[in-house]
């Protein structure tokens, strides 16, 4: 924690000498609905509501950074009286109020499609939520995804609540020194100036959650942010009841040392569970979004043991049945880990409450020991904990799930990578949040208003083809002009802040060309995202950018983590290149990338550039935001673009191939050249090929194809429906079965699990036989028989399977298929199983037999429990 944020002397003064009170806006009675609208974040994705607040005082709207709650407390009383007598304004307010009331009361997708599950409740835990730029408690993509998740859950009527932390100083604000080095500053969030309500108990007192730690008790206040129909509950430790060091826990997002981070995650996970219990919310499913909140699993287990008298195995099974997990990070170092010593420092008392040994608790956050050869076993992985104690898990794109199965396969030794139980649900965006006003208006006219309510409907998006080219182009040009104007104004402020001379500041008024082909690049400045790749060959990019007949320009934004000096070096390099006289008017770096800056960029650029090192981009969503605004993607085939790019209909461009290069420098060389080649030979010629009316019809055709193919797929409505159908409802149903009749079913499963663990090693696949005499013709079947000694287990406990496919040179099965075998007879201690293989592959094939645990007819993937035939 930055010590300047919590000045000890100042804190003592405040605590001893100041009595707090809260001042609220004094609105004329007729304007009272303004506060109701401001206190529901629905307004931020409703253009009529945004315009209502902007209309009150445009300068104040900008000064408060689009925060209506703060603005209502700052508007002059005379202005409020004037507005209360303005029939046009009051009428506008009434329309918005009625629209909000209609939204809150209307039937939804969930009420129609999932009416059988109307009484279910889901909880979504995340360490950051990006709802709007006026509530800066987010850093980037994870927070934006979390915020969009809640918004679409609201639109679709999901019975969901969000749980997170409320940070006093949030994430840092970025500014650059004169030489381009990133600096960080932290601004205090004033909660009472935000659309937050402190949650009260039934008796009117404020709700306080307490969390026990070995050193002291941590107290947390509870705030509610209403996001449409979805409440987001946020925990905050920065108040008088806590000592200074505890108040700092919710100071900064991703701030402090390892001890501060584990305390934040204890407050989020354990405090979050206690919060829900205090609110009498008993979720059927908890969605753990990234591993930061995974300590909630321990707290849930403790609750079942102490409140319901369950054993540790029973508690493990019931908690596992109710949780789902989304992993976001395809790089091992990016997944949260703590030293075992630090975990035990805070969780040794939890071991006693769980009735577990220290080694058993630590094992939940580590790979099986025999699978790890050169890995440090002294660390506890939050991702492994979440994967081990969740019913379902997913990556955030198809490719990311493949990478994740490879990364975490050691949790299930002996299970082929393809079968590691991590699936994918590809990310999306909340379309209403990210669409420009201009394109929203076009869609209303030509697609009908249903595009807002049903953004995943392909038939609606197909109507994009009916929008006249001239209208699309005029709307897009207005957005580009607005982006250029915004960039100039922001650059001017940046230069003034750095103490630049008036001569240098004046160039900001002329930087960029509103009619030039504009490339947008904005994201976190981690090394693998290669923010400077387009500048690899400086002379070549200068040649492209300095062509007066075909003007091209680049606008860049993004933050490096405060401790990432490599990322800061990349930013410095770009800023210094932008100061080159040949690039000064063509390349701009915008400071302090946030949701507001993102809106301008994804709505106003022509090309959205993305060039990470494949496969290190889990998903990425900025390109999805660009696509719905007619901005065309130009990206490495990584993350979501592997699924989004369609070579047949040419809905964008790709950079390089899917090949892996052993040498990073060589890969950068190849892929930077690919960027230049595509720009010179395809992108620039297409953009500047104009008809007699000055409209680039070929380019507009590509814009339309991009919107038609990407808009209906990469949105959070589609994503939410997938989570609901594939994860939430099946998990809730399974969880409810285990809870029924005083946990009879879970007690039965726990006995089964203990019996399986105790007796698994007694299983032996004694023999397998088949009817192969010679070569087999394709499309015939091969009968296989296996003799299995089950030891103390029963046929109901196990699944015997034929595992077949092509054989490679090492006699390893590839392109495998699994066929269930059936029990046909018994000979003494041996159970005889039989199955068939359809010979539908030509070439060198093979099979083997394996046994997996099975419960109630479903195969269970349990650590270290798969038995393969050894004696073929």
Contact 591, 176 (CB under 8 A): yes
| Cα–Cα distance, 631 to 651 (Å, whole number) | 11
Q: Which long-range contacts (CB under 8 A, 24 or more apart) does 546-551 make?
A: 546/582, 546/586, 549/688, 550/517, 550/684, 550/687, 550/688, 551/513, 551/515, 551/516, 551/517
| Residue 870, pLDDT score | 85
Q: What is the pLDDT of residue 6?
A: 53
Claim: this prediction has a pTM higher than 0.85: yes
What's residue 14's pLDDT?
47
Residue 332's CB: how many other CB atoms inside 10 A? 12
First to last CA, the chain: 61
pLDDT at residue 844 in the model? 80
Is the bond into 615 cis (omega within 30 degrees of 0)?
A: yes
Give the Å distances, CA to CA, from 134 to 63, 92, 191, 846: 11, 23, 11, 61
Count of residues for the chain? Answer: 872
Q: Which helix (DSSP H) or strand (DSSP E) does residue 608 occupy?
A: strand 607-610
Looking at residue 106, its pLDDT comes to 94
Q: Please state, in angstroms and rounded to a whole number, the distance separating the CA atoms of residues 199 and 223.
A: 5
Q: Can you read off the two tokens belonging to residue 472?
A: 């699309």
DSSP 165-221: E--SSBSPEEEE-TTS-EEEE-----GGGTT-EE-B-TTSSBPEEEEE-SS-EEEEE
Considering only CA atoms, give the Rg of the chain. 29
Is 528 in contact with 613 (CB distance < 8 Å)?
yes
Cα(771)–Cα(659) distance, rounded to whole angstroms? 42
- In this structure, what are the phi and psi dihedrals at residue 805, rounded to the nearest 5 degrees? 165, -165
CA distance 180 to 164: 34
pLDDT, position 768: 87
Which residue matches tokens 């409450």? 353
Q: How far apart are CA 828 and CA 313, in angstroms?
A: 33
Looking at the DSSP assignment, which residues form a beta bridge with residue 826? 831
Mean pLDDT by 10 residues, the chain (872 residues): 49 56 80 97 97 97 96 94 97 98 96 95 98 96 97 98 97 93 95 95 96 95 98 97 96 94 98 98 97 98 96 97 96 88 95 93 86 60 97 97 95 93 98 96 94 94 96 97 97 91 89 97 94 96 96 97 94 94 94 97 98 94 97 97 93 91 91 97 97 96 98 98 98 96 96 95 91 76 92 96 85 84 94 90 85 94 91 66
- C-alpha–C-alpha distance, residues 427 and 128, integer Å: 16
Three-state SS for 701-733 is: HHHHHHHHHHCCCCEHHHHHHHHHHHHHHHHHH
Distance CA(783)–CA(762), nearest Å, equals: 26
d(CA 775, CA 219): 73
The pLDDT value recorded for residue 30 is: 96
* pLDDT of amino acid 661: 85
- Looking only at the bridges linking them, the beta strands covering 830-838 and 781-789 are antiparallel
131 and 147 Cβ atoms separated by less than 8 Å? yes
Phi-psi sector, 694: left (phi>0), alpha (psi -120 to 50), beta: left
498: tokens are 């750095």
Q: Which residues pair with 608 in a beta bridge?
A: 520, 633
The shares of helix, strand and coil residues in the chain, as percent rounded to the nearest 5, are 45, 20, 35
What the block records as the tokens of 698 is: 């070929």
Residue 211 near residue 270 (C-beta atoms within 8 A): yes
* 9: its two tokens: 């002397």
pLDDT, averaged across the chain = 93
pLDDT digits (tens, 9 = 90+) for 757-778: 999 999 999 988 888 776 777 7
Cα–Cα distance between 783 and 781 in angstroms, integer? 6
CA–CA separation, 621 vs 641, rounded Å? 10
Phi, psi for 65 (deg, rounded to 5) = 55, 50
Q: How many CB atoms lie within 10 A of CB 83?
A: 22
DSSP state of 683: I
């Amino acid at each position: 924690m930055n010590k300047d944020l919590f000045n000890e002397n100042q804190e003592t003064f405040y605590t001893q000498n100041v009595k707090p009170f809260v001042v609220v806006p004094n609105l004329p009675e007729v304007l009272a609905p303004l506060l109701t609208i401001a206190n529901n974040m629905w307004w931020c994705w409703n253009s009529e509501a945004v315009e209502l607040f902007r209309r009150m005082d445009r300068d104040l709207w900008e000064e408060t950074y689009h925060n209506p709650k703060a603005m209502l407390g700052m508007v002059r009383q005379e202005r409020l009286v004037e507005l209360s007598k303005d029939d046009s304004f009051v009428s506008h307010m009434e329309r918005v109020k009625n629209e909000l009331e209609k939204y809150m009361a209307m039937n939804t997708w969930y009420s129609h499609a999932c009416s059988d599950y109307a009484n279910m409740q889901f909880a979504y835990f995340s360490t950051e939520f990006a709802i709007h730029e006026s509530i800066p408690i987010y850093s980037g993509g994870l927070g934006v995804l979390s915020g969009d998740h809640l918004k679409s859950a609201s639109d679709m009527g999901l019975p969901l609540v969000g749980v997170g932390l409320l940070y006093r100083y949030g994430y840092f604000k970025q500014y650059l020194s004169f030489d381009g080095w990133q600096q960080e500053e932290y601004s205090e969030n004033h909660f009472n100036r935000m659309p937050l309500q402190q949650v009260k108990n039934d008796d009117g007192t404020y709700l306080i959650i307490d969390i026990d730690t070995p050193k002291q008790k941590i107290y947390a206040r509870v705030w509610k942010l209403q996001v449409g129909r979805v409440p987001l509950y946020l925990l905050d430790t920065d108040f008088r009841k806590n000592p200074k060091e505890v108040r700092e826990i919710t100071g900064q997002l991703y701030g402090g040392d390892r001890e501060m981070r584990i305390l934040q995650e204890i407050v989020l996970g354990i405090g979050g569970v206690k919060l829900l219990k205090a609110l009498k919310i008993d979720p059927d499913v908890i969605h753990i979004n990234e591993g930061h909140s995974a300590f909630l699993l321990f707290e849930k287990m403790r609750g079942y043991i102490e409140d319901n008298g369950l054993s540790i195995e029973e508690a493990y099974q019931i908690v596992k049945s109710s949780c789902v997990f989304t992993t976001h990070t395809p790089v091992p170092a990016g997944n949260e880990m703590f030293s075992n010593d630090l975990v035990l420092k805070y969780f040794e008392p939890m071991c006693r409450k769980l009735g577990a040994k220290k080694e058993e608790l630590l094992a939940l956050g580590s790979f099986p020991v025999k699978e790890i050869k050169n890995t440090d076993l002294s660390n506890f992985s939050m991702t492994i904990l979440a994967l081990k104690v969740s019913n379902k898990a997913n990556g955030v794109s198809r490719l990311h799930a493949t990478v994740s199965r490879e990364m975490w396969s050691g949790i299930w030794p002996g299970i082929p990578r393809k079968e590691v139980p991590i699936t994918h649900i590809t990310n999306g965006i909340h379309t209403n949040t990210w669409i420009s006003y201009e394109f929203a208006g076009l869609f209303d006219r030509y697609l009908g208003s249903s595009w807002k309510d049903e953004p995943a409907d392909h038939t609606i998006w197909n109507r994009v083809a009916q929008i006249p080219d001239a209208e699309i182009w005029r709307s897009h040009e207005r957005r580009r002009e607005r982006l250029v104007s915004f960039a100039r104004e922001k650059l001017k402020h940046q230069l003034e802040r750095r103490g630049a001379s008036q001569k240098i500041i004046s160039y900001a008024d002329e930087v960029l060309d509103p009619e030039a082909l504009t490339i947008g690049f904005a994201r976190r400045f981690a090394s693998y995202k290669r923010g400077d790749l387009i500048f690899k060959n400086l002379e070549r990019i200068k040649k492209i950018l300095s062509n007066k007949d075909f003007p091209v320009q680049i606008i860049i934004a993004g933050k490096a983590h405060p401790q990432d000096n490599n990322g800061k070096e990349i930013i410095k390099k770009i800023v210094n290149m932008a100061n080159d006289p040949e690039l000064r008017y063509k390349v701009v770096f915008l400071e302090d990338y946030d949701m507001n800056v993102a809106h301008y960029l994804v709505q106003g650029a022509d090309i959205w550039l993305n060039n990470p090192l494949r496969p290190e981009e889990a998903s990425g969503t900025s390109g999805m935001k660009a696509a719905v605004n007619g901005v065309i993607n130009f990206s490495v085939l990584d993350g979501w673009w592997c699924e989004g790019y369609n070579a047949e209909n040419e809905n964008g461009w790709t950079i390089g191939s899917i090949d892996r290069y052993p040498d990073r420098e060589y890969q950068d060389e190849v892929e930077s050249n690919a960027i230049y080649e595509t720009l010179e030979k395809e992108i620039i010629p297409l953009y500047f090929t104009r008809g007699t009316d000055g409209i680039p019809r070929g380019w507009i055709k590509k814009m339309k194809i991009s919107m038609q193919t990407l808009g209906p797929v990469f949105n959070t409505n589609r994503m939410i429906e997938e989570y609901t159908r594939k994860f939430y409802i099946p998990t809730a149903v399974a969880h409810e079965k285990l809870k029924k009749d005083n946990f009879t079913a879970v007690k039965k499963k726990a006995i089964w699990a203990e019996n399986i663990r105790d007796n698994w090693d007694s299983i032996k696949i004694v023999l397998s036989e088949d009817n192969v005499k010679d070569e087999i013709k394709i499309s015939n079947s091969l009968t296989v028989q296996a003799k299995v000694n089950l030891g103390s287990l029963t046929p109901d406990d196990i699944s015997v399977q034929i595992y077949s496919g092509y054989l490679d040179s090492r006699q390893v099965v590839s392109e495998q298929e699994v066929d269930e075998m059936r029990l046909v007879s018994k000979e003494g201690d041996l159970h005889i199983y039989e199955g068939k293989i359809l010979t539908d592959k030509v070439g060198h094939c093979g099979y083997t037999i394996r046994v997996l645990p099975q419960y109630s007819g479903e195969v269970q993937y349990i650590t270290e429990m798969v038995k393969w035939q050894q004696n073929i």
